[in-house]
Structure 1
């Protein structure tokens, strides 16, 4: 890794040296593991893979990156070990993690609302039709994606608008990373049909019945301490592997771990995919994978 504060990053660096030999590896997921619409391993298949999680900020110094090793066991509750946890993940580190992991959860909007894209394009060309009204509902219709509305309906939590909030800066960074991955023939489809899932830790925590607000910032380390305890109870198969204190100290690290856990949950069929009528918008705008509330 080129920057930031790394904890036990030797394995990731070893992976990068392997990449520098010129060998491109799209995935290290065990070939015995097959993706399915529902949970795997119900017929004795073994789970054995590496899953990454990225809490993407506009700048590298506030970007968290986690790597989970998922053990090979004939169980849906295979051991999850936090193998690596990094603060200060730059673009090459993120691309490297994505290409070396079976699946990756990305905590950032992967696209913009289609109506907003058309609105900006029409305005730029001077061809925008005059709206009947410019009231709040009209503006929200431009600012929100279909997946944002879906998350609010199922959890009561509104994701930040990538069209109107500062999260757009991080989304711009992701767009650049996605373009580089695409040039390297890595499938980063925004609907989750490739190797990445869009995730939103607050919505996942709400779905799990855990505290989803008020855990960010230096002043809320005690809240994060309790949340880490609650996650350990929720996922007794999670091994913090010496990284627990960093998750308590920094919410970016904790969100990176959450992003990786959600990605694994999505891979195992425990999250809600885009319904048939929203699949086309999910391919353009992105789709937030929220754990099923069961």
Structure 2
């Protein structure tokens, strides 16, 4: 079965979606589109084994508790705990795991602009569940949270500086590096779009990361971590090189 990668923005504009088919010894990008609606994402989910969403799937539990306590005017903080208290509000358990594993600090879903995409993601997850999909924010179902920058780091590729006005690394060059690292990946007619759009490129990386999760080549929450991961979300950080994605033959 194919995997789906979604680089989710706050609105349809700048949202990209890639479908990758896995064949013996190779993978083929079958579809790659920009400006994607929620309905189109839900529809595409009907035809894939795993969907990688590049967006936080939930908020830190202490942050949710803060909002509830603030509503009732019952917020208290012990003396000397201010900095640690704020950190627990800003970062999820999975964010801290990624930081420890890669030294990359994910954007805070409660204190950064990524929250706008997360608002949309919450609705999208509800739509996917209503359509009959197994939505487990810990990654045990059809949907899994991915983080392209961390995946690129794990795969030995440039993971910073290829987005925005101050680009230090052209994502076209990064795509060339991806070709060299994964010659089995066939972009076909979509190579030009990947070179022009870092949103499109990230959606392909999300689909590759979804494959890692689907075949057990990504970090999973431990038994102790799983209850929190199912609420806050869990980033499926790849555990090995890109070649691991095609070690298993598919018919």
What is the TM-score normalised by the length of structure 1? 0.78
What's the counterpart of residue 66 of structure 1?
Answer: 18
CA contact (8 A) 2:160 2:169 kept: no
Give the drift of 1:219. Answer: 6.6
- Give the number of aligned pairs: 241
Listed as ranges, the gaps of 5+ residues in structure 2 are 242-251
Say if 1:107 and 1:173 are closer, same or farther in 2 by CA, change over 3 A. same
Match of 1:204 in 2: 151
Written as runs of structure 1 = structure 2, the 5 A alignment for 1:74-89 is: 78-89=25-36
Instruction: Tell me which residue corresponds to 1:52.
Output: 4
Is the Cα contact below 8 Å between 2:2 and 2:50 reproduced in 1? yes
For 2:16 and 2:168, locate their aligned partners in 1 and report how far apart those are by CA, in whole Å.
Answer: 17
Query: Structure 1 unaligned runs (5+)?
Result: 1-48
Instruction: Give me the whole-angstrom Cα distance separating, in 1, the residues matched to 2:28 and 2:203.
Output: 14
Q: State the 1:220 CA deviation.
A: 4.0
Provide Cα deviations, 1:62-116, integer angstroms capped at 9, x if missing partner. 1000001112x3xxxx321010000000110111112221111000000000111
Given the two structures, how large is their TM-score scaled by the length of structure 2? 0.91
Cα separation, partners in 2 of 1:181 and 1:149, compared to 1, 3 Å: same
1:145 aligns with 2:92: yes
Residue by residue over 1:163-198, the C-alpha shift from the partner in whole angstroms, topping out at 9 and shown as x without a partner, is: 000000100101001112222221121011110110
Asked if 1:135 corresponds to 2:82, the answer is yes
Larger of the two Rg values belongs to structure:
1
The CA RMSD measured in Å over matched residues stands at 1.6
Q: What's the secondary structure of 1:256's corresponding residue? A: helix
Shift in Å, 1:129: 3.0
Paired with 1:276 and 1:59, the residues of 2 have a C-alpha distance of 35
Q: Is the 8 A contact 2:212 2:238 kept in 1?
A: yes
1:246 equivalenced with 2:198 (yes/no): no
Aligned counterparts, 1:1-294, within 5 A: 49-71=1-23, 73=24, 78-133=25-80, 135-217=82-164, 220=167, 223-293=170-240
Flag the structure with more relative contact order, 1 or 2, with Cα contacts below 8 A and sequence separation at least 6. Answer: 2
Cα distance between partner residues in 1 of 2:57 and 2:194: 24
User: Matched residues in 2 for 1:93 and 1:224: separation?
Assistant: 26
